[in-house]
């Protein structure tokens, strides 16, 4: 499993973070400065400006979601945890289904079910991942940590992690197309004499609406999943509600961020690597940290440019079997020592 999971977001530095409402305000102010002179001359065609404003708001909201919402906390990190619960995107209703990420709530080693946020922060080696960081405390200003509840009702502080889906990216593309069509509609209404200007503008405005609608519907089904990468778990399992046992123990590796959309918690987003390392039997295995280190080293080797370069060599590109359609190392074949068939 050398390939990473899909990634559509990027995180911003804490000092550059702004809330969604502030970001939309900046976008609206910029739009007003550009378009107010045009609107003043547009007469009743200015009604099409409402379509422009709606499409621009969609572009701004999606851009904030993908580029500003997540705050960088310090590169990529790995952790091993027990799956407390999962949140498949297929279970979401519209409009929440546009967020097509597959979320997992992990109880990090060596915590036990029922642990509080304060106690989880003190655990080693992963407690720091869920603790409020100085940069977000200074520049963002809110934090709660995240909790999840098992099917048997036990609530635990957790480390949240997400496989990214392309839903919001799809809506951004559709909103950008809609914005272009909406601007064209406004210009057509102003520039083309009636009634043809109104007819053309109406058609373009309708196309803008259809583009936004199609993007939203398509994005709602463009899901992230644990099975997006070959060799990774195709599905994940939490504990049996009766026994409290059997949940997956999962290794996750990805970008460590603060998610500012909610009440405020840290998470691994996006997950870049994930693999099953065991099952929960009521106690942690004694070699968890060793397993993490070995997986870290293995994935680092798989990402190494030298490894990637060797994998592209002819001798490693066989499909059926190395002896059938492969290309082995060149080697000298000694001449036969005596007479015979050769």
Rounded average pLDDT over 276-283: 97
How far apart are the C-alpha atoms of 47 and 52, rounded to whole Å? 9
Residue 49 confidence (pLDDT): 86
Residue 341 confidence (pLDDT): 45
CATH of 70-165+223-302, one of 3.40.390, 3.40.50, 2.40.50, 1.10.150: 2.40.50
Choose among 129, 85, 131, 134: nearest CA to 109: 129
How far apart are the C-alpha atoms of 339 and 342, rounded to whole Å? 8
* Percent above pLDDT 90 for the chain: 73
Residue 230 confidence (pLDDT): 83
Q: Are 272 and 7 in contact (CB under 8 A)?
A: yes
Rounded average pLDDT over 149-167: 97
Flag whether pLDDT at 3 surpasses 80.
no
Flag whether pLDDT at 298 surpasses 70.
yes
How far apart are the C-alpha atoms of 184 and 176, rounded to whole Å? 12
**Cα dihedral sign, 158-161-162-163:** negative
Flag whether pLDDT at 267 surpasses 90.
yes
Q: Which two structure tokens, joined as six digits, stand for 170?
A: 């799809």
pLDDT band for 224, please (50, 70, 90 cuts).
very high
pLDDT band for 106, please (50, 70, 90 cuts).
very high
Q: Where in the chain is the domain with CATH 2.40.50?
A: 70-165+223-302
Least confident of 199-203, 243-247, 277-281, 301-305: 301-305
CA geometry: angle 254, 67, 62, nearest 5 deg = 120
Choose among 239, 230, 236: nearest CA to 251: 236
Computed over every residue of the chain, the mean pLDDT equals: 90
| pLDDT tens-place string over residues 169-190 | 999 999 999 999 999 999 999 8
CA geometry: angle 116, 121, 124, nearest 5 deg = 120
Residue 342 confidence (pLDDT): 43
Do strands 102-108 and 265-279 pair parallel, antiparallel, or not at all (unpaired)? unpaired
């Amino acid at each position: 499993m050398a390939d990473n999971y899909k990634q559509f977001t990027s995180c911003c530095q804490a000092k550059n973070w702004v809330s969604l409402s502030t970001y939309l305000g900046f976008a609206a102010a910029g739009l007003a400065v550009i378009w107010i002179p045009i609107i003043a001359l547009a007469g009743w065609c200015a009604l099409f400006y409402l379509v422009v404003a709606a499409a621009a708001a969609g572009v701004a909201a999606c851009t904030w979601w993908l580029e500003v919402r997540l705050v960088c906390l310090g590169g990529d990190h790995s952790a091993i945890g027990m799956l407390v619960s999962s949140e498949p995107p297929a279970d979401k209703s519209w409009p929440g289904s546009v967020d097509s990420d597959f979320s997992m709530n992990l109880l990090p080693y060596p915590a036990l079910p029922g642990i509080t946020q304060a106690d989880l922060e003190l655990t080693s080696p992963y407690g720091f991942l869920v603790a409020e960081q100085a940069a977000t405390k200074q520049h963002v200003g809110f934090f709660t940590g995240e909790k999840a509840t098992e099917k048997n009702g036990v609530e635990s502080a957790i480390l949240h992690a997400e496989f990214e889906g392309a839903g919001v990216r799809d809506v951004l593309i559709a909103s950008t197309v809609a914005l272009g069509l909406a601007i064209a509609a406004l210009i057509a209404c102003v520039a083309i004499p009636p009634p043809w200007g109104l007819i053309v503008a109406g058609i373009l405005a309708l196309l803008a609406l259809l583009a936004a609608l199609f993007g939203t519907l398509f994005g709602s089904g463009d899901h992230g999943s644990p099975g997006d990468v070959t060799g990774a778990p195709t599905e994940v399992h939490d504990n049996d509600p009766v026994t409290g046992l059997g949940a997956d123990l999962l290794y996750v590796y990805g970008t460590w961020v603060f998610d500012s959309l909610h009440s405020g918690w840290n998470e691994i987003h996006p997950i870049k690597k994930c693999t099953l390392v065991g099952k929960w039997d009521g106690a942690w295995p004694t070699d968890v940290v060793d397993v993490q280190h070995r997986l870290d080293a293995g994935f680092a080797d798989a990402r190494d440019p030298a490894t990637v370069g060797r994998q592209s060599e002819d001798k490693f590109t066989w499909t059926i079997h190395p002896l059938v359609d492969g290309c082995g190392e060149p080697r000298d074949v000694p001449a036969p020592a005596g007479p015979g068939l050769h």
